[in-house]
């Protein structure tokens, strides 16, 4: 991320007025962090852990939790959720958009926004936090025919008010509004070229690159302008685009991010990241938007064009493993069914070991644990109870908050765990921080053995397509063997689902349509 320019609207306060976060503000920054002259920050952190240069961190001592940087993620970060509604004659279109976004709240809890147009005017309400926080003072009241909405977790640009979507630009043809799910891999290059030509950017998001390119496109036909813009960008994106007289939905040529189409009872249309959002507004599912497809909805009806094609599809397989709601259907495949099959495949790969019960890490481990229980014949029990009033730990911006939240939101059921050999099912391990804490909870509750089974392969690479993970060296599986990770977590055995088993679970054994880059 580029350094903020002086006076940039995203800067929260002048530097001299910002609170000092150093442990000792009277010392120079490096010394305040415990860094001696000549030491890199990484060497200082390693020394603080008692680790020699090049040494892999060993397993934590009994009762100790493996520490991580206060501001680094230990879980996958959700990308975003988008909604577009075309409903002429609907008096409460903003409320429909709100309901659809509520069904997508799991995709981002950092900020939310809704924009409504009647063709002449546009009204936007945006804010930080959950939907209930962002719209605490009300939703748009404009009686319009189209609306777009967005829930966000920042994968690019940071958690700032100016980055809240939808975002807008004005061109000779009128306003253009945009809500974006994904991540552009060439955003910095395009932004640098546009800045050199005098273009100003009001946000730090890669989404604004798309918006400005569209507003500057010298095309009479709107669809041609959008298609020309999209052919200049690379990466992942599902977009809903609001214009005075139409609504446009777009999915990238490789299909990284999902987008589907539904029909409202009164005849309008809905575009959404997941089918569960259609259910929330009682819309009938029509179909998924195809990779490389642009759908335009206006007073003439619905029309579709293919603006680009890729040689190979690359839908993000983590939508099935973790991101999407289990009641959604993505590209014709039930998310719940795929997770159940992951559990069954995991049980087949677990054979040869003995255990007494299967328990999930709620919530994303539940369906896989049911599949594991079905295949293995081991009883499924609740071993961890989730406090529903605590936010999801992966989505909290600071590691300190996340680490505290893990123990606030999960509590063991000692009666189900005491003196039993436990199979603990979870969806993934990124840094290992959360998993180590959960294993410690289960052991303290009296489990005789803990065998951790993960319904995905080891994550060894960072994602460039809209999932904000740690850099590669911070991913535990990129630095350690499975046995070493098991020692760090403090488990009796650690089993990851194989890539073959994963692909079989999502109905793609030959890997014709899924992206597995984070595993290899």
pLDDT of residue 175: 87
Neighbouring-strand partners of residue 302: 297
Q: Is 483 helix (H, G, I), strand (E, B) or coil?
A: helix
Check: CB of residue 140 under 8 Å from CB of residue 125: yes
At 216, which helix (H) or strand (E)? helix 207-216
Instruction: Please report the beta strands in 310-442, taking only residues with DSSP state E, as ranges in sequence order.
Output: 315-316, 329-330, 333-334, 357-360, 384-386, 410-412, 421-426
**Distance from chain centroid for Cα 296:** 26
Put residue 262 in one of left, alpha, beta given phi > 0 → left and psi -120 to 50 → alpha.
Answer: beta
Catalytic one of 10, 20, 80, 260: 80
| DSSP state string for 253-282 | TT--S--EEEE-TTS-EEEESSHHHHHHTT
pLDDT of residue 401: 57
pLDDT of residue 197: 86
Cβ atoms within 10 Å of 404's Cβ, excluding its own: 14
Q: Sign of the C-alpha dihedral, residues 255, 257, 258, 259?
A: negative
Check: CB of residue 515 under 8 Å from CB of residue 314: yes
pLDDT of residue 162: 76
Check: CB of residue 258 under 8 Å from CB of residue 319: yes
Q: Look up tokens 């998310």; give the residue.
A: 335
pLDDT of residue 10: 36
Check: CB of residue 241 under 8 Å from CB of residue 177: yes
| DSSP state string for 393-425 | GGG-SSHHHHHHHHHHHEEE-HHHHTT-EEEEE
pLDDT tens for each residue of the chain, 520 residues long? 444 333 333 333 333 333 333 333 344 444 444 555 554 443 444 454 444 433 333 333 333 333 332 223 334 444 699 999 999 999 899 999 999 999 999 999 999 999 999 999 999 999 999 999 999 999 999 999 999 999 987 654 455 677 899 998 887 778 899 999 998 989 889 988 988 888 888 888 888 899 888 877 767 788 888 998 998 999 999 999 999 999 999 999 999 999 999 999 999 999 999 999 999 999 999 999 999 999 999 999 999 999 998 888 999 999 999 999 999 999 999 999 999 999 999 999 999 899 999 999 999 899 999 999 999 999 999 999 998 876 544 445 555 555 566 778 899 999 999 999 999 999 999 889 889 999 999 999 999 999 999 999 999 988 766 455 456 777 899 989 999 999 999 999 999 999 999 999 999 999 999 999 889 7
At 377, which helix (H) or strand (E)? none
pLDDT of residue 157: 46
User: Of 496, 468, 491, nearest to 323 (Cα)?
Assistant: 468
Which residues are CB-contacts of 336 (< 8 A; sequence separation ≥ 6)?
A: 326, 327, 367
Is 162 catalytic? The answer is: no
At 33, which helix (H) or strand (E)? none
Rounded CA gap, 257 and 377, in Å? 36
Neighbouring-strand partners of residue 454: 426, 496
- Domains, the chain: 80-311 (3.60.20.10), 334-519 (3.40.50.2020)
pLDDT of residue 44: 46
Instruction: Please report the beta strands in 300-409, taking only residues with DSSP state E, as ranges in sequence order.
Output: 301-306, 315-316, 329-330, 333-334, 357-360, 384-386
449-454, strands of its sheet edge to edge: 357-360, 421-426, 449-454, 493-496
**On the CB side of 42, how many CA atoms lie within 13 Å of its CA?**
6
């Amino acid at each position: 991320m580029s350094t903020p320019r002086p006076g940039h609207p995203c800067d929260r306060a002048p530097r001299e007025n910002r609170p000092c976060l150093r442990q000792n503000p009277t010392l120079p920054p490096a010394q305040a962090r415990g860094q001696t002259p000549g030491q890199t920050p990484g060497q200082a952190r390693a020394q603080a852990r008692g680790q020699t240069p090049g040494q892999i961190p060993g397993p934590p001592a009994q009762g100790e939790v493996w520490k991580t940087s206060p501001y680094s993620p230990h879980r996958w970060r959700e990308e975003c959720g988008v909604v577009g509604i075309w409903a002429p004659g609907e008096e409460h279109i903003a409320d429909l958009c709100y309901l659809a976004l509520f069904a997508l709240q799991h995709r981002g809890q950092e900020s939310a926004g809704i924009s409504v147009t009647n063709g002449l005017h546009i009204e936007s309400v945006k804010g930080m936090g959950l939907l209930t926080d962002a719209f605490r003072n009300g939703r748009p009241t404009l009686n319009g025919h189209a609306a777009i909405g967005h829930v966000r977790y920042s994968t690019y640009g940071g958690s700032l008010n100016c980055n809240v979507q939808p975002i807008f630009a004005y061109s000779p043809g009128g306003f253009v509004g945009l809500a974006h799910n994904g991540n552009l891999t060439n955003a910095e290059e395009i932004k640098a070229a546009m800045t050199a030509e005098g273009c100003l950017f009001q946000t730090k998001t890669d989404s604004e690159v798309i918006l400005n390119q569209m507003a500057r496109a010298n095309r009479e036909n709107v669809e041609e302008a959008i298609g020309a813009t999209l052919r200049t960008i690379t990466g992942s994106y599902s977009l809903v685009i609001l214009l005075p007289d139409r609504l446009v939905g777009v999915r990238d040529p490789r299909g990284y991010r999902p987008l589907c189409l539904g029909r409202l009872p009164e005849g309008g249309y809905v575009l959404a990241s997941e089918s569960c959002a259609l259910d929330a507004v009682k819309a009938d599912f029509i179909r998924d938007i195809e990779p490389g497809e642009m759908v335009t909805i206006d007073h003439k009806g619905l029309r579709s064009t293919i603006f680009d094609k890729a040689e190979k599809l690359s839908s993000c397989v983590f939508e099935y493993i973790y991101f999407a709601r289990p009641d959604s259907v993505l590209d014709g495949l039930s998310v719940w069914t795929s997770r159940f099959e992951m559990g069954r495949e995991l049980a087949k790969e677990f054979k040869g070991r003995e255990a007494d019960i299967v328990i999930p890490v709620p919530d994303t481990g539940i369906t896989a644990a049911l599949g594991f229980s079905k295949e293995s014949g081991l009883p499924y029990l609740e071993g961890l109870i989730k406090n529903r009033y605590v936010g999801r730990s992966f989505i909290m911006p600071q590691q300190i908050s996340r680490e505290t939240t893990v123990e606030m939101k999960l509590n063991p059921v000692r009666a189900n765990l005491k003196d039993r050999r436990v199979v603990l099912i979870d969806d993934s391990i990124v840094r290992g921080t959360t998993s180590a804490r959960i294993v410690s909870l289960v052991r303290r509750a009296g489990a005789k053995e803990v065998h951790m089974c993960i319904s995905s392969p080891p994550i060894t690479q960072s994602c460039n397509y809209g999932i904000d993970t740690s850099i590669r060296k911070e991913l535990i599986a990129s630095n350690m063997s499975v046995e070493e990770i098991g020692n760090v977590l403090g488990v009796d055995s650690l089993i990851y689902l194989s890539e073959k088993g994963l692909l079989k679970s999502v109905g793609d054994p030959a890997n014709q349509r899924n992206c597995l880059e984070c595993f290899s």
